[in-house]
Structures are given as C-alpha cells and as structure tokens.
Amino acid sequence: QKEVEQNSGPLSVPEGAIASLNCTYSDRGSQSFFWYRQYSGKSPELIMFIYSNGDKEDGRFTAQLNKASQYVSLLIRDSQPSDSATYLCAVNSGGGGFKTIFGAGTRLFVKA
C-alpha cells in the first residue's frame, strides 16, 4: 500500500520560531511533492510544491526533499499565529500518474 505518513501533532511553537513539519512516503518512484495548508473549516490551499530534483524556498517557507530517506519537510521561518493550521503533505504517484496521495496532516499551533 502506497502511503504518506505524518505526525498528527499538534506541533506547538512560539511566535518567531522555526516550525519544522515532516512526512515520509513509501513510493520510491514519486516525482512531485506538495504541501497544503488547511485552516479549520476551510479547504486545503497549495502553498509549495517541489520536484524530485531539488528543494525550494518561497518567502518564509522552504520545502526539502531527502530521496534516499523518502522524507519531505516543510520549514516555516518566523512563524506567525496566522500560520496555525493543519499542514497536509501530498505525493504524486510515480510515473507521472494522476493520483496524488495525501497524508492525514500535522496540526501546527503558533503561540503569540
């Protein structure tokens, strides 16, 4: 069974700190990796995506991939209370297929 696993949290960090969110995936052939943010009662919003060829930084967010360990991370620098949400990791199935497999999400709480 192809899976994406995340620690459900909650992960609690103080305002201004770095929040580090992680997920592992089981399909070695996965080519693209996504991070979605979901506020309570809202739908997921795509915030970052990376391909198997490298990491990406966008503002306060950095997505990193460790292919050898099949591990994806999202770093949020200078965390703000507005970053408090559930973060979903998703992985596109290998071979460029249409299926994207989601993790169950990690709840992040940023304390003011």
Exactly one of 21, 37, 44, 83 binds another protein (CB under 8 A); which one? 44
User: x/- site string to another protein, residues 45 to 84, per CB under 8 A?
Assistant: xx--x-x---------------------------------
Judged on CB neighbours under 10 Å (0-12, 13-18, 19+), 102 is middle
Distance (Å, whole) CA 33 – CA 35? 7
By CB under 8 A, residue 31 contacts another protein: yes
Distance (Å, whole) CA 4 – CA 96? 17
Which value, in Å, is the radius of gyration of the alpha carbons in the chain? 13
Smallest separation, CB 102 to another protein (Å): 4
Interface residues with another protein (CB under 8 A) are 31-32, 34, 36, 42-46, 49, 51, 88, 90, 92, 96-100, 102-105
